Amino acid sequence: MSDYFREDSPAVPEEAARQIKAIVMKEQRISIEALKAGPKEVNIDHVYALVAQGQVFFDLQCSLISDHRTAFLYPDEEMAKAHRIVRQGLATPRSLLTTLPSHVGAQVTWKDRVYSIANLGADSVQLACGKDLVSLDRSLFEQLGKAGEIAGLAQQPDAAIPQQILEILLSTSEQEFAVANDRWYCYQNPNSPKALRIPRSSWRRLRRHCRTALEALGCAYVGCLPRYHDRGNHSDRLPEAVYEITDRLIKEHYLNLKQKNKRAIHGLIKYECDHRGLVAPSYQWTVDRINHLDPYEVALARKGRRAAYRFTPQLHGQLNPNNGDRPMALVQIDHTQLDIFLVSEDTGEVLEKPWLTLAIDAYSRRVVAFAIAFDTPSHRILMLMVRRIVQRQGHMPAFLSVDGGKEFSSGYFEALLARCECTPIKRPPAQARFGALIERAFGTLDSSFLYSLAGNSQIMKNVRQVTKSVRPERQAVWSLEALDELLSAYFFDLYDNRPHGELGMSPAQKYASGVELAGVREHRVIVPNEEFLLMTMPTTSKGTAKVITQRGVSIHGIYFWADEMRAAHVVGSQLPVRYDPYDLGHCYAQLGKRWVKCVSGYHGVFNKKTEKEIMIASQLIRQGQRQFGKTKAVTAAKYAEFFLTQVEPEEELRRQRLKDLALSRTSGGCGHGPTVAPSLVGSPSYQQPAFDVSEPAETESASSMWPVGPNRTLDEL
């Protein structure tokens, strides 16, 4: 395990473990909520750790461990089984006992035997048990029921009977319920004046309907319902052949990619019915027949899979797997180009629209980290995002939800996630619900923040109506560094503490309640030491660089040197290298079994210069050399001279320098040093790294760096 991880399994202090196990052993069965309300030393992380280590038992099949009210802990598995058997034995008889029934066929218990009511008269009751028949007076039967000697036994009803009653009640209108209530009152009070005014034939019919409903469904009230909607002839009016023709033609000519309309389908049906001597249905009947089809199947057949996606059923009554079940369980990350034009802080020249990379916690909707830059998204910005997530949260999420972009499939990025024990999850294409949270966050950012700033480009949605005087480029006043500060205040102050409509609380409150529920999980803490920073650095296109005598390794024409490269066996060899694209003042090269920090020959010139800026300069110089037939290598001195004298007049490079200058003034330059979430600094297991990455590593510290064999691949790092 790496030294920037605490350990694979969290260690529980002996005193806390002893106290928790003593409480569970004493109670034999205790909920997590009751356990937390006990001694102050009880920590939810310690409880989860003891469950994971098997020192206390929790039955995963009975309840969710996140529901502390119903999550019960036991000393061991056998004790849990014993409690389950006892609860089932006590609950089953009680649940079967009901009040004394009053209809024929019901079952009752008497003297430990089960009887069924064979006959229920006004003066006597007959009970049957097998071939035995017992007759009791009605008054005695009721007295035994009140005394508890005879009790009703609830039968296991047929699944169709309650569903049938439910369907009848749901299909009843308010007017029908009013009529049924009047009839039920008359049925219950046959001597009332209202009941006496009912004709004798109607009274006999009402009693017959109630008796039939009681025998068939066990509910006499259903017999009082008028059920007006069931009156009339509901049988099919058209011949069976017409239905067969209609369904076949709809399947052949409507459910395909030709996009025929309903009028054309009705014409085909009418033609074939006339040809076969049948009565053709009306156009409205055909439309109703088509409208009763499954909309998903219709959209899938006529428009394809993407159009039919919106008709797929969502998860109702289940936990949404896209939201996670605790903080930092699932984080969604994505890019978008912001709808705002920026200007240079120094010259006021209008630059282009920046890109925003955003990471949001799916459980709490809290923004975990963000980064803005002018360059298009790549694996470099993703490595920077990993660095920022660790700096703010102290650890990586368990799962990282990404889309199908090529930058998310980079081998270096996937290796970094594997080293941080973070599993990437690819969101399926053309299924927007999997990325709805991050996309909604982008929409909220536009509507509540960016569209309130000068220079936003929402007016360009109707580009034909835009004149030169109102173009957003002419209104731009914000710089990259100023926008970075505004976004930081918006995400971490305003948005974080604003009530969220779906959560019913702010993201910060939701995150805090989730941490209290699921624990801090200190065993996943990552200390951003030198090894971690090394893992967040990309390498060259081929992964290695050649060592040149007295110059060192060359990365994009810049030489980096370390004293260990003086050895004769190192000169001329290809060494694995890593560099920081946002700070080319130094790089790392693998010498033997360790990584050595190398400093560029012109550290003062190239410090804080970006890879994009240097590559543009390299292309311009080499183009001029080809024109004059020069083939000399571009040295670090020529690069320095070019930056100081010739780069500034070149418009393309000057614009890039303005962009990168603005980026270097934000926290994206990574020049502020690593930080850790404040909630983790105070933990007893956290250790502040004692090194300075900006200075060359000494020989002693370099020897203690992360050991890597000469033939090991990046995936083994």
H-only helix segments in 401-471:
411-419, 436-448
Q: What is the pLDDT of residue 621?
A: 47
Tens-place pLDDT, residues 186-227: 888 888 877 778 888 888 898 888 888 888 877 888 888 888
Q: Is the pTM of this model over 0.85?
A: no
DSSP calls for 201-236: HHHHHHHHHHHHHHHHHS-GGGGG---GGG-S--S-
Tens-place pLDDT, residues 293-328: 999 999 999 999 888 888 887 655 455 667 778 899
Residue 702 has pLDDT above 60, yes or no: no
How far apart CA 253 and CA 263 sit, in angstroms, is 12
**Domains of the chain with CATH codes:** 14-94 (1.10.10), 173-226 (no CATH), 240-311 (1.10.10.60), 330-514 (3.30.420.10), 530-681 (no CATH)
Residues 6+ positions from 487 with CB-CB distance below 8 Å: 356, 370, 372, 449
Beta partners for 367? 360
The pLDDT confidence band at residue 637, using thresholds 50, 70 and 90, is: low
Lowest mean pLDDT segment, chosen from 47-51, 115-119, 711-715: 711-715
Q: Which of 284, 292, 279 is nearest to 265 (CA)?
A: 284
How far apart CA 480 and CA 661 sit, in angstroms, is 9
Q: Which helix (H) or strand (E) holds 332?
A: strand 330-337
How far apart CA 538 and CA 529 sit, in angstroms, is 17
DSSP 400: E
How far apart CA 260 and CA 92 sit, in angstroms, is 60
The pLDDT confidence band at residue 273, using thresholds 50, 70 and 90, is: very high
- The position carrying tokens 């004790």 is 79
The pLDDT confidence band at residue 660, using thresholds 50, 70 and 90, is: confident
Residue 617 has pLDDT above 70, yes or no: no
- SS3 label, residue 10: coil
Beta partners for 280? none
Q: What is the pLDDT of residue 337?
A: 93
CB contact at 8 A, 400 and 423? yes
